[in-house]
Chain A
């Protein structure tokens, strides 16, 4: 920021010869009716005042504010350096080579805190990290703003909307060209948006350095959504992806373990899963013939039809029935718990054998998420978890 201000001061020296038009100037107070007089007044402005240095009121006020802020930061930096030396002395280290990492360690050691939120614990950081960055001056010495949308009061936000509109037009032109050439076979591709979501209002604000209202944010998202649905939106994929972030659940599922090889060089993977009070460990072996073994028995280990279907479902969903072998061991209480845990474990194992698109389909089908439902406890004063005794009037 200091460097920028130097540049500005340098500019002010450069601009010294240029008359700033709308600064207070006594010559403008005269009003003259004859054109000759008027013109001579204007000439006076143009040539006589060119020698004096003129800065617009806007710039002057900005420079005052910046000076106050700079002094404040300077003071904070001074105090930070003193604090750092103290800490170094207390820890018995050389103050000259005391880094921020050492500062953090020292604070943790000297001021132990049991507070849960890391931001609530004592800390000492460089002032640049603590105090938010300010926008630099948005106008030059004459008070002329740099940004063409400055007067909207949210230039970065509206510039983003402007860029979007320009890109939209480019895509439309491209589409026209394609139709003109008779090329229409390109599929509308929206697949790359799977597993991601639009970035939050806060992160948009931090990028734009402007605070947005809720309606402005929703406007932006609506526009982005329309843009992303364009037939040729894939061409602007990089631009769109700047405004999307990975979903948390998705990132968890994307951590797919490596396939391992057994003695006979067949690929396999294992997974342990739980459901209700059961847990199961499943080994799925590739290049198989569809054998299913559960605790040493085949699928008839489960008597009910529904349980058997539960085991088959993930394999059928991924089209892997008859292509992989499944070896499962399960223990615990109840058949549906056991079968549920095996189903989840099989589905998790199958991630290694299928492509990303199928994994996403599995996620949407609910195959990859843990079923948290458990037996609800019995309550006193009633016969079951929810059931009540029959009401009888005394």
Chain B
């Protein structure tokens, strides 16, 4: 199965890079992916040593696909959406149906998208990028901040000051390096409107990963992950997964110079 992954990296100063790489992989079977990972270095023996250490050549260099199974998502109540009437039209491709008036997500699609998102996160962490966890859900503040602390990354789970990204020089009192990836644990603010960070990150060309519930708009999110963003169990699962993906990326980074 040939899949095409398009990663858009972009920077503050308008420098954009579009990498398109075709990778041969079978996403549905983790065993095959790992087998590929083992096989590929032998094919590349002839090429330069540098080539081997290039993680972009592997479909799942960091092994993020093994972090979770579909059953884990189901147990964490990821498949529950909001009520029928609140469904956002752009979320239609990701839903399985509705049960007793509530949207149910298609967890097969969620799994695939979440794996992509985790893979991207691990790559960013591997390259030493700054990852910012964003949420504006008072109940989940502690969970999100703890995950960021454990991963050695950054969190903003409080009230979002307008122009935090677009006028950063004023807000942080000096030139500041902005995050390289924003993980939105919930893309809505408590007023049930789209979080300002989604729009501002798009303006500043910062890639975003967003957990999008059935009532949120995935349009401006680089890596949307359809799923329940309200239940504590689900949020805990997302936080743990992204934390683990970051730690995997970082551990690979620390391995490379020694080898």
- Report which A residues bind B (CB closer than 8 A): 20-22, 24, 28-29, 31-33, 35, 38-40, 42-43, 46-47, 56-58, 60-62, 65, 139, 142-145, 148-153, 158, 161-162, 165-166, 169
Contact = CB atoms under 8 A, between A and B. Distances in A.
A165 B138 CA distance: 11
B17 to A, nearest CB: 5
Contacts of B21: 35, 38
Given A22-B180, A42-B56, A148-B155, 7 more contacts: A22-B11, A29-B17, A38-B19, A61-B175, A151-B132, A152-B155, A169-B142
Contact of A39 (B18, B57, B164): B57
From B56, B153, B175, residue with most partner A Cβ within 10 Å? B175
A46 B175 CA distance: 25
A21 B180 CA distance: 10
Contact of B164 (A28, A35, A142, A153): A153
A24 B13 contact: yes
Interface string B103-126: 000000000000000000000000
Contacts of B20: 33
14 contacts: A20-B128, A21-B127, A22-B11, A28-B17, A35-B57, A38-B21, A39-B51, A43-B51, A60-B175, A143-B130, A143-B176, A148-B148, A148-B149, A149-B156
A327 B155 CA distance: 69
A31 B175 contact: no
B85 to A, nearest CB: 34
B161 A38 contact: no
Q: Which of B15, B18, B156, B177 has the most CB of A within 10 A?
A: B177
B172 A149 contact: no
B80 interface: no
A222 B153 CA distance: 29
A139 B149 contact: no
Contacts of B153: 148
A144 B124 CA distance: 14
Interface in B153-191: 153-156, 158, 161, 164, 171-172, 174-177, 179-180
Interface string B68-85: 000000000000000000
B54 A149 contact: no
Interface of B: 9, 11, 13, 15-23, 50-51, 54, 56-57, 127-130, 132, 141-142, 145, 148-149, 152-156, 158, 161, 164, 171-172, 174-177, 179-180
Contacts of B171: 153
B176 A42 contact: no
A224 B156 CA distance: 21
A301 B127 CA distance: 92
A20 B79 CA distance: 40
B50 A144 contact: no
B19 A21 contact: no
A61 B172 CA distance: 12
Nearest to B57: A39
Contacts of A24: 13, 15
Nearest to B150: A148
A219 to B, nearest CB: 10
B175 A58 contact: yes
B19 A31 contact: yes
B211 to A, nearest CB: 19
B54 A39 contact: yes
Contacts of A22: 11, 129, 177, 180
A139 B51 CA distance: 32
A166 B145 CA distance: 11
A57 B177 contact: yes
Contacts of A58: 174-177
A57 B175 contact: yes
B145 A149 contact: yes
B235 to A, nearest CB: 15
B145 A148 contact: yes
A318 B15 CA distance: 79
Given A35-B22, A39-B57, A21 B128 contact: yes
A382 B20 CA distance: 96
Contacts of B176: 58, 139, 143
B156 A43 contact: no
Contacts of B149: 148
A336 to B, nearest CB: 57
Most chain B CB atoms below 10 A, which of A29, A58, A60, A151: A151
B22 to A, nearest CB: 7
